[in-house]
Homo-oligomer: A and B are copies of this chain.
Amino acid sequence: MKYIKLAVPDDFEPSDTLRLVDYQKDGPEGATSAQVWQPHYTKVLNHGFVGLVDFYGDDSAIVNAARVSYGVGTKKTRSDRGLIRYLMRHLHTTPFEMCDFKFHVKAPIFVFRQWHRHRTFSINEYSARYSEMKDEMYEPTIGNMAPQSSTNRQGRDATILSDTDYIAIMAVVEECFSTSYQGYKHLLGPTEAGTVPPATDGVLRRLQWCQDAAVTAVKESRRRAIESEHPDPYPTEKSLEEAIQAYLDQNGVAQISTDFPGIARELARMVLPVATYSEMYWKGNMHNLFHFLNLRCDSHAQYEIRVYADAILELIRPYVPWAVEAFEDYLQHASRLSRMETEVVQELLQLPSEHIVTRIMKEKGCSKREIDEFIAKFA
């Protein structure tokens, strides 16, 4: 199977079918039905997903780019795969830039924070300035809610929490999420973007909540100012506290005005947790994608981004099978030996004869060229 681009009328739907009526090679009557390519999505985490929404370039695009340096003759399938493996093995990476993939991703903000550190990709993300965020937050399953690793300062342990502990922990998480999202909705005000205001008792409940919280707020605000490591010169902090105190002295409670319009979305979102889901289009070339996958499919990557990376690898595999295979053999599952380690293997290799190495490598399906290259690494 390969993919071609086809010009169709504007009102053509992906569900409309096509037939290769003049394509005589396989069918008796020359009518072979052809599959319109459609985006595929994979569900990830509790509310997330990653979808391959478009791409161009396949294994042959890599080969064509590599061969711009010499005349293309008749090349057998075998040698295309061999060339791709050679390019990957020797880090001739520019031909892999000739494939490009576009994904649609929904993931928690803290995952996007790691994701966006990959600077070579194009991004269009859901805007919390422009639109209201939904009440969708990441909640780890019991299998992923793990204690801090005792050996790795930035990872988690393999221990599974007891059901009881997990329930207690999730109760805390839910409490945080509910409070934050309720707060967010409250800050947005009774009406948003022209929709009808929420039911009156909801507004009243929020008002009551504010009144209760005001006293806490003053105390908390003061505690922060006192405990803060960086004593706070924030100019209006003091007048804020004084205003709150004066008001409370006089009225006992704070009361929101009935015509309060809600504050700007770009501000209201500040109370939302980093577990809140966001969405983006994410697009880049395959060389950079392999770099991303090499780091993020790794066991040292945080679980919550690793599951996205794993899904992406499977999404692209059908379109660039040889490139993915080469990526796995020469990057993802490769080892890097330091100068000293290299010398160790060099010494080890002196013990067994080269024949043993050759035999083992042949058993693993390595080509003559790969065997020579391996031995040369320690010459």
Complex Cα–Cα for A46 and B238 (A)? 11
| Majority-rule SS of A interface residues | mixed
Residue of B nearest to A245 (CB): B167
Residue of B nearest to A192 (CB): B148
**Pairs A–B under 8 Å by Cβ, sample size 18:** A1-B8, A3-B7, A16-B20, A69-B131, A97-B122, A108-B270, A134-B229, A141-B234, A148-B265, A167-B244, A173-B271, A174-B216, A177-B271, A340-B370, A341-B374, A344-B357, A344-B374, A351-B352
Question: Are B334 and A329 within 8 A (Cβ)?
Answer: no
Complex Cα–Cα for A167 and B25 (A)? 57
Question: Are A147 and B264 within 8 A (Cβ)?
Answer: yes
Q: Does chain B have a CB within 8 A of A124?
A: yes
| New A-B contacts (18) at CB < 8 Å, excluding given A54-B57, A167-B254, A333-B339 | A2-B8, A5-B5, A18-B23, A19-B21, A94-B122, A98-B281, A119-B120, A129-B155, A134-B229, A135-B227, A146-B263, A154-B266, A167-B244, A168-B210, A336-B336, A340-B361, A344-B361, A348-B349
Complex Cα–Cα for A122 and B36 (A)? 29
A129 CB contact (under 8 Å) in B244, B279, B302, B343: B302
Complex Cα–Cα for A328 and B56 (A)? 27
* Interface residue total, chain A, C-beta cutoff 8 A: 209
Question: Are A145 and B267 within 8 A (Cβ)?
Answer: yes
Complex Cα–Cα for A61 and B338 (A)? 24
Complex Cα–Cα for A267 and B25 (A)? 49
B-chain residues with CB within 8 Å of residue A31 when the two chains form the complex: 21
Q: Does chain B have a CB within 8 A of A140?
A: yes
Question: Are A123 and B94 within 8 A (Cβ)?
Answer: yes
Q: How far is the CB of A91 from chain B (nearest CB, A)?
A: 8
Complex Cα–Cα for A103 and B263 (A)? 32
B-chain residues with CB within 8 Å of residue A171 when the two chains form the complex: 209-211, 213-214, 216-217, 254
Q: Quick one: copies of this chain in the complex?
A: 4
Complex Cα–Cα for A135 and B127 (A)? 26
B-chain residues with CB within 8 Å of residue A264 when the two chains form the complex: 146-149, 155-157
Residue of B nearest to A16 (CB): B23
Complex Cα–Cα for A269 and B273 (A)? 9
Question: Are A263 and B148 within 8 A (Cβ)?
Answer: yes
Give the 5 A-B residue pairs with the shortest CB-CB distance, closest first.
A156-B264, A97-B122, A5-B37, A174-B217, A333-B339
Question: Are B257 and A124 within 8 A (Cβ)?
Answer: no
- Given the interface pairs A164-B255, A177-B271, A336-B336, the reply to whether A1 lies near B10 with Cβ below 8 Å is yes
Residue of B nearest to A346 (CB): B335
Q: Does chain B have a CB within 8 A of A169?
A: yes
Complex Cα–Cα for A57 and B122 (A)? 13
- Given the interface pairs A6-B4, A94-B122, the reply to whether A338 lies near B370 with Cβ below 8 Å is yes
Q: How far is the CB of A301 from chain B (nearest CB, A)?
A: 10
B-chain residues with CB within 8 Å of residue A165 when the two chains form the complex: 256-257, 260
- Given the interface pairs A3-B7, A262-B147, the reply to whether A130 lies near B183 with Cβ below 8 Å is no
A36 CB contact (under 8 Å) in B5, B35, B100, B147: B5
Type the 1/0 row for A230-245, where 1 means its CB is closer than 8 Å to any CB of B: 1011111101100110
Q: Does chain B have a CB within 8 A of A205?
A: no
Type the 1/0 row for A123-164, where 1 means its CB is closer than 8 Å to any CB of B: 111111111001111111111111111000111110101111
